[in-house]
């Protein structure tokens, strides 16, 4: 239930095009829908401007199918993160609008257009190995109708690759930087652009990387100003926040 749909229902009741009883029926699950295994937050887009997103990890294919089947009844775009091709095959039987990104392991269904920004988001990654997280950033930002430009594999081991692209990166409204290993790239980017930088540490790296902890701590202790940090491998969180900044 988004704001435009709410206004439409109330206007139809006011104009006599809809019976009060029918309006009450539509509002019955206004706040959330109770399923046996989940409570779908129908009110979230009205509160925050963005619909609920499904975190697919540890959910069974049957549970995700049931959640998506219910969400398909509304006009919101649907995004499932950390999911599998098995889930996609089940959902594809419900709708031919389902799209699976095999790198990000995301499933998306576009049902409506969000308000677009004239600005765009730059997504920068240190290495090709960071692509699963980087693509999660992109898919998340794009399902909310942001223009995204990718700059991949420009890490500090060959920093000239970043400098070759820095003038284009500077044109973005917000920059998301994804890096594993020691997580140095966001500090470089933060010192070269005048836009907010969202740093995403990944779990990519050898043993002393500690599953992304070294990258996380490196980003948190960055000496560059204007750099904020999300959790390890949290491409979704970075894409969501970048969308909010891009549309301010």
Q: Is the pLDDT of residue 29 over 60?
A: no
Of 5 and 100, the structure prediction assigns the larger pLDDT to 100
User: Who wins on pLDDT, 100 or 114?
Assistant: 100
User: What is the model's pLDDT at position 246?
Assistant: 94
What is the structure's pLDDT at 34? Answer: 60
Give me the pLDDT at residue 2, please.
60
Kindly tell me if the per-residue pLDDT of 51 is higher than 70.
yes
All domains in the chain, ordered by first residue:
31-109 (no CATH), 120-246 (3.40.50.1970)
pLDDT at site 31: 66
CA distance 86 to 83: 8
The string of pLDDT tens digits covering residues 71-98 is 888 777 889 999 999 999 999 999 889 9
pTM across the whole model: 0.84
Confidence at 113, pLDDT banded by 50, 70, 90? confident
Tell me, what's the pLDDT at 111?
80
The reported pLDDT for the residue numbered 164 is 95
Express each pLDDT in 164-218 by its tens digit: 999 999 999 999 999 999 999 999 999 999 999 999 999 999 999 999 999 999 9
């Amino acid at each position: 239930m988004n704001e435009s749909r709410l206004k439409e229902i109330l206007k139809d009741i006011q104009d006599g095009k809809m019976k009060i009883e029918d309006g009450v029926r539509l509002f019955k699950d206004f706040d959330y829908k109770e399923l046996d295994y989940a409570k779908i937050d129908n009110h979230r887009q009205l509160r925050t401007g963005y619909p609920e997103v499904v975190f697919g990890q540890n959910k069974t294919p049957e549970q995700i199918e049931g959640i998506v089947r219910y969400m398909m009844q509304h006009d919101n775009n649907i995004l499932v993160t950390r999911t599998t091709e098995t889930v996609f095959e089940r959902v594809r039987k419900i709708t031919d609008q389902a799209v699976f990104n095999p790198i990000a392991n995301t499933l998306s269904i576009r049902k409506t257009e969000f308000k677009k920004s004239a600005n765009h988001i730059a997504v920068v990654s240190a290495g090709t190995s960071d692509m699963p997280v980087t693509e999660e950033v992109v898919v998340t930002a794009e399902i909310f109708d942001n223009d995204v430009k990718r700059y991949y594999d420009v890490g500090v081991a060959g920093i000239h690759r970043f400098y070759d692209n820095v003038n284009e990166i500077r044109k973005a409204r917000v920059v998301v930087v994804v890096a594993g290993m020691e997580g140095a790239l966001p500090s470089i980017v933060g010192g070269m652009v005048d836009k907010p930088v969202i740093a995403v540490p990944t779990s990519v790296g050898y043993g002393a990387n500690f599953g992304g902890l070294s990258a996380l701590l490196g980003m948190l202790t960055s000496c560059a100003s204007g750099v904020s940090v999300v959790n390890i491998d949290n491409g979704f969180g970075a894409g969501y926040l970048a969308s909010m900044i891009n549309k301010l």
